[in-house]
C-alpha cells in the first residue's frame, strides 16, 4: 500500500501503538481482577477470549467514530461581532473529545500524585465464564474512549488514518495478550512512563480542540484558529521518550553501582 511508503505513516503507527499499550495498562489490571474470579484453569482462556472480543469491539467503535467524523456539513452557525463558527459533527466530536482527554488526563495525573489505590471491581453474586467475558468487554468499552480519541487525534488528516488506527489497535492488543503481566509490571516499575503518556494526552486533547475549531472555521475577534501541525506533537513525544530512556538507563546503572 502506498501509505506505508510515507514516513508520517510509520511515525504515527509506532507512536500510536506505544500509546495504545500504555493506555491499556489500566485495562489489563481490571481484566486480570475480573478473570481472577474464575478457577485457575479458566483464567487465561477468559483473558485471551475477552481481550479478543474487546479488540473487535474497539475496531467497531473506530469505524463508528470515523463515520461520524466524515460528516462535514455544518448544522449550526454563529455569526456576530466577536465570534464566527460553523459547527459540524466532525468538529463537535473533536472538540468534545479534546475536552474529555484534558479532563481524563488531568484527573489521572491528580490520582497518581495522590497515590490513590486502584479501585477494585465489586464482587458478583454469581460468577460464570460468560459473565466474566461480558464484564471484560464492558470494561474495555469504558477504557476505549480515551484510546480511540487518542487514535483520532494522532491520525486525523493522515492518509489511510483508519487503516493506521486499526493496525495500531490490533498490534497493541496482541502485545497485551502475549505480555499482559510483563507489560503491566514494567509500567508499574516505571511510573514516569505513565506520567509521560498522560502528559501526551493533554497535548493530544489540546490539539483535538484546536483541530475542531479550525474545521468549524472558528474566528474570535476576526482571528481564525489554526490547526497545530502533528509534526510538533511527534517531535515532543519522541524527545520526551528519548530523555526518559536516558533517565531509565542512568537509574539502572546507579542501582548496579550501589550493589
Q: Residue 188's pLDDT is what?
A: 63
Q: Residue 69's pLDDT is what?
A: 66
Q: Where are the domains of the chain?
A: 2-258
Residues 78-128: tens digit of each pLDDT: 888 888 888 887 788 778 878 877 887 788 788 777 765 555 544 444 567
Is the separation of the CB atoms in 13 and 167 below 8 Å?
yes
Q: Residue 124's pLDDT is what?
A: 42
Is it the case that residue 202 has pLDDT exceeding 80?
yes
Residues 213-252: tens digit of each pLDDT: 887 888 888 888 887 777 777 788 788 888 888 988 888 8
- Concatenating the DSSP letter of every residue in 178-218 gives HSHHHHHHHHHH-HHHHHHHHHHHHHHHHHHHHHHHHHTT-
Q: Residue 122's pLDDT is what?
A: 46
Q: Residue 42's pLDDT is what?
A: 79
Angle formed by the axes of helices 7-23 and 191-215, to 10°? 120
Rounded Cα–Cα distance for residues 106 and 25 (Å): 17
What is the percent of the chain where pLDDT is above 70?
A: 77
CA nearest to 235, candidates 195, 207, 194, 211: 207
131 CB contacts (<8 Å, ≥6 apart)? 124
Least confident interval from 4-8, 30-34, 90-94, 206-210: 30-34
Rounded Cα–Cα distance for residues 230 and 168 (Å): 17
Rounded Cα–Cα distance for residues 76 and 87 (Å): 5
Q: Residue 158's pLDDT is what?
A: 72
Amino acid at each position: 500500500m502506498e501509505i506505508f511508503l510515507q514516513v508520517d505513516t510509520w511515525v504515527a503507527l509506532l507512536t500510536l501503538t506505544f500509546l495504545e499499550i500504555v493506555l491499556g495498562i489500566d485495562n489489563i489490571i481490571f481484566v486480570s481482577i475480573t478473570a481472577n474470579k474464575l478457577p485457575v484453569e479458566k483464567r487465561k482462556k477468559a483473558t485471551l477470549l475477552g481481550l479478543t472480543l474487546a479488540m473487535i469491539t474497539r475496531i467497531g467503535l473506530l469505524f463508528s467514530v470515523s463515520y461520524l467524523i466524515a460528516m462535514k456539513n455544518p448544522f449550526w452557525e454563529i455569526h456576530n461581532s466577536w465570534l464566527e463558527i460553523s459547527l459540524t459533527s466532525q468538529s463537535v466530536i473533536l472538540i468534545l473529545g479534546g475536552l474529555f482527554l484534558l479532563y481524563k488526563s488531568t484527573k489521572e495525573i491528580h490520582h497518581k500524585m495522590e497515590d490513590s489505590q486502584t479501585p477494585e471491581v465489586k464482587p458478583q453474586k454469581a460468577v460464570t465464564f460468560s459473565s466474566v467475558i461480558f464484564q471484560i468487554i464492558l470494561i474495555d468499552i469504558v477504557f476505549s474512549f480515551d484510546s480511540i480519541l487518542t487514535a483520532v487525534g494522532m491520525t486525523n488528516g493522515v492518509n489511510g488514518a483508519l487503516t493506521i488506527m486499526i493496525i495500531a489497535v490490533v498490534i497493541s492488543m496482541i502485545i497485551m495478550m502475549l505480555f499482559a503481566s510483563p507489560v503491566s509490571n514494567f509500567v508499574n516499575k516505571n511510573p514516569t512512563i505513565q506520567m509521560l503518556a498522560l502528559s501526551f494526552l493533554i497535548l493530544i486533547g489540546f490539539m483535538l480542540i484546536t483541530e475542531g475549531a479550525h474545521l468549524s472555521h472558528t474566528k474570535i475577534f476576526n482571528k481564525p484558529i489554526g490547526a497545530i501541525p502533528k509534526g510538533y506533537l511527534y517531535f515532543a513525544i519522541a524527545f520526551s521518550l528519548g530523555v526518559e530512556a536516558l533517565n531509565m538507563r542512568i537509574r539502572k546503572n546507579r542501582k548496579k553501582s550501589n550493589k
